[in-house]
Amino acid sequence: MVANDSVVDVLLLEDNPNDAELAIRALKKNNLANHLEWVKYGAAALDFLFQRGDYADRPDCSPKMDGIEVLGLRRANPQTRELPVVILTSSKEERDLVATYRLGANRFVAKPVAFDAFAKTVADLGMYWVLVNRLPPEIRST
């Protein structure tokens, strides 16, 4: 999530449509997503981040990547390496936790299973990144 004077941009990378819908609802309910883009796969997220191709029209056979792979590629690019990243995942694997922090994730949060808990977690994350967390000026203006 990146905040500037009037817009909150959220790129939601989520392959589960139900979880995506819950996250989108929670963010919008709390007025935390003036502009939100949902993509299902890592390749689409990279196209969005690097402003290449028309990711909405990618064929189904496009390569799929998980969030950790996208995080690594984002970190390797000077244009996107400083963007804050929150990993909201169903993974309970310690190796995923370690890998995401090594690749520059700012937070690693396990997805709650229950709807109310999921919605509250997304809302709390949004509130933190928009209202509490402070970003350096070069990131805020991105």
Q: Where are the beta strands (DSSP E) in the chain?
A: 2-3, 8-13, 35-39, 86-89, 107-110
- Is the pLDDT at 35 greater than 50? The verdict is yes
List C-alpha distances in Å: 99 to 41, 42, 107: 19, 16, 12
Q: Decide if pLDDT at 59 tops 50.
A: no
Choosing among 3.30.70.1450, 3.40.630.30, 3.40.50.2300, 3.30.300.30, the CATH entry for 2-140 is: 3.40.50.2300
Give the integer Cα–Cα distance in Å for 99 and 63.
21
Q: Which pLDDT tens digit goes with each residue over 61-73?
A: 445 678 888 888 8
Classify burial at 141, counting beta carbons within 10 Å of its beta carbon; exposed 0-12, middle 13-18, buried 19 or more.
Answer: exposed
Q: How confident is the prediction for the chain on average, in pLDDT?
A: 81
